[in-house]
Amino acid sequence: MSWNDQIGFPVLSVITFLPLAGVIAILLFGRGRPQVYKVIALVVTLAAFALSVWMLVVFKVSQAGMQLAESVSWIAPLNIRYGMGVDGIAALLVFLTTLLGVVVIIASWHYVKDREMGFFISLLLLEVGMVGVFCATDLFLFYVFWEAMLIPMYFIIGIWGGPRRIYAAIKFFLFTLIGSLLMLLAIIAVVYYVKDHTGTLTFDIQSLSRVVYSYHLQYWAFLAFFVAFAIKVPMFPVHTWLPDAHVEAPTAGSVILAGVLLKMGGYGMLRFCLPFFPDAAVAFVPWVVGLSVIAIIYGALVAMMQKDLKKLVAYSSVSHMGFVTAGIFAGIALVGNAAGVEGAILVMLSHGFLTGALFLMVGFLYERTHTREIAEMGTLGKPLPVLAGFFLFFSFGSLGLPGLSGFVGEFLSLYGVFEYSRWMAAVAAIGVILAAAYLLWMFQRTMYNDRGDDEVKPSFPLKDLGAREIASLVPLVVFVIWLGVYPRTFLEFLHVPVQTILDRVTPSLSDASAGMGALAQLVDSVRGLF
């Protein structure tokens, strides 16, 4: 047994399982007492958030490798360990998760009417799974958390969702499961490859990522991992689960889905696809960046055409997450192009804040108007000035206004793409124009007037944002500005881990066959399976 030596206290496990303790407390004391279980949920998530902030404080940004590590033998015969630990990337994502955890608890205080306690329990369980995914340093443990997190999300969509919730929930579940299945296959293959070649059976991600895998294994295993994460991101053309899931999910579900779950795709690519299979990753760069650029433009164009506010934001996520994958893979395509990778991670963070916030706004609007149809809104800026103000703020953050969080990440990741391919960057930059177009058009059609007559009279009673709702938005506002004006706080966490990844990939740059060669290698690799 070895708790981490940094602070002598298993802070990561505590952050991860605090919500679980909250669930137990709710089951013990909260039955039939809404105030009690809501307060428990709030306290628990706040505590987890406070701990994650503390974790960032004690984190040593200049130190490589996993920090605050814990490792306990778990399934001894297979040498599976309960291993927790974070590097800078994971630390930031844990922070994002716990922050959004608090936000959604506050935001859904009065949201659900039916089986409310179950809803809060699901939210807490979801947080356990999400934090666990980011903290796990054991591949098996990672997989367990990865799958465990699906279940509460499935329930959140399937029980508390909209009219087509069952379709959406199953679609979400199946898409993710197909990815997980491929990933499981690849995990087994990787572990057994290592066992065969080094004689040690281990699931430790750090040790596995130092092994040099054969080309044959790399190509198909890379693809298996990549597909799993690409579905999560989601990349074009496996994105169609996302809009359905978002539209049907309750507000809190959408916030978590967009804010955290999508990030797991990017995180997984950084943690597995690149360090495990550097040759394959480098070889697939043109394909991945190409698809990402398509996703940026495609997502933006399709978002423009949406009539449902939530679908619009969902497709905007497809567009924004395109910057993540483009930045990551363009970043590894050249020596010393860390800006792309770091930018991609910043996009993940900023997208978590911004899109989370946008979904909250849509939820608040829905609570007032009982519709998400854009056509049924208009001139809502008049009766709802505060809501409109926040909406405007987050919209501009999302379209990449410099000084707010969206800009820094997108600029850096675009810059990374530019170093890799100027034409692709030029095409991707069109996405930034389109982002302005669809977001401002959306804003005009909801908050401003686009009908021609003087004022659209809303047929529903409207009450501007209350203190609780503002409280759920203010932390996001703070971090959006912080990330935009002083991104250094966050970037500092990224330099070392990103460099570690790049150092791992760099040797592959010379001897990989990119482009069409990658496909040939892949075919070869799959054939090698049989």
Neighbours of 3 (CB within 10 A): 17
Q: Tokens for 150, please give them.
A: 């699906």
How many CA within 13 A on the CB side of residue 215?
A: 16
Among the residue ranges 118-126, 143-151, 432-440, 470-478, the one whose residues contact another protein (CB under 8 A) = 432-440
Segments in 305-337 forming alpha helices (H)? 309-333
Q: Tokens for 368, please give them.
A: 């007032």
Contact (Cβ atoms closer than 8 angstroms) between residue 361 and residue 390 = yes
Q: Residues 438-457 vs another protein: string with x where CB under 8 A? A: --xx-xx--xxxxxxxxx--
Binders of another protein in range 218-247 (CB under 8 A): 237, 239-241
φ, ψ at 379 (rounded to 5°): 55, 30
- Helices 422-446, 278-304: axis angle to 10 degrees equals 30
Under the criterion CB under 8 A, does residue 58 sit at the interface with another protein? Answer: no
Q: Residues 124-163 vs another protein: string with x where CB under 8 A? A: ----------------------------------------
Q: Residues 363-392 vs another protein: string with x where CB under 8 A? A: ----------------x-xx------x--x
* Radius of gyration for the alpha carbons in the chain, expressed in angstroms and rounded: 22
CB of residue 405 to another protein, shortest distance in Å: 12
> 84 has which bridge partners?
70, 136
Under the criterion CB under 8 A, does residue 498 sit at the interface with another protein? Answer: yes
Under the criterion CB under 8 A, does residue 471 sit at the interface with another protein? Answer: no
Residue from 14, 21, 437, 509 that binds another protein (CB under 8 A)?
437
Residue from 340, 356, 406, 497 that binds another protein (CB under 8 A)?
340
Helices (H) and strands (E) in the chain, counts: 21, 2
Residue from 255, 274, 285, 338 that binds another protein (CB under 8 A)?
338
Residue from 151, 184, 304, 496 that binds another protein (CB under 8 A)?
304
14 versus 456: smaller Cβ distance to another protein: 456
How many CA within 13 A on the CB side of residue 7?
A: 17
Nearest to 342 by CA among 211, 235, 167, 492: 492
Residue from 184, 419, 458, 519 that binds another protein (CB under 8 A)?
419
- Amino acid in position 502: L
Residue from 104, 295, 414, 473 that binds another protein (CB under 8 A)?
414
Distances (CA, A) of 507 to 221, 269, 275, 279, 333: 19, 18, 11, 9, 11
Among the residue ranges 53-61, 81-89, 470-478, 488-496, the one whose residues contact another protein (CB under 8 A) = 488-496
Give the per-residue SS3 of 364-420.
HHHHHHCCCEHHHCCCCCCCCHHHHHHHHHHHHHHCCCCCCHHHHHHHHHHHHHHHH
212 versus 433: smaller Cβ distance to another protein: 433
Among the residue ranges 42-50, 251-259, 365-373, 428-436, the one whose residues contact another protein (CB under 8 A) = 428-436
Under the criterion CB under 8 A, does residue 62 sit at the interface with another protein? Answer: no
> Which residues have C-beta within 8 Å of that of residue 181, sequence separation ≥ 6?
none
Peptide bond into 237 cis (omega under 30): yes
CB of residue 381 to another protein, shortest distance in Å: 6
Site residues (vs another protein, CB under 8 A): 171, 174, 237, 239-241, 298, 301-302, 304-306, 331, 336-343, 346, 379, 381-382, 389, 392, 396, 401-403, 407-408, 411-412, 414-415, 418-419, 422, 425-426, 429-430, 432-434, 436-437, 440-441, 443-444, 447-455, 485-488, 491, 494-495, 498
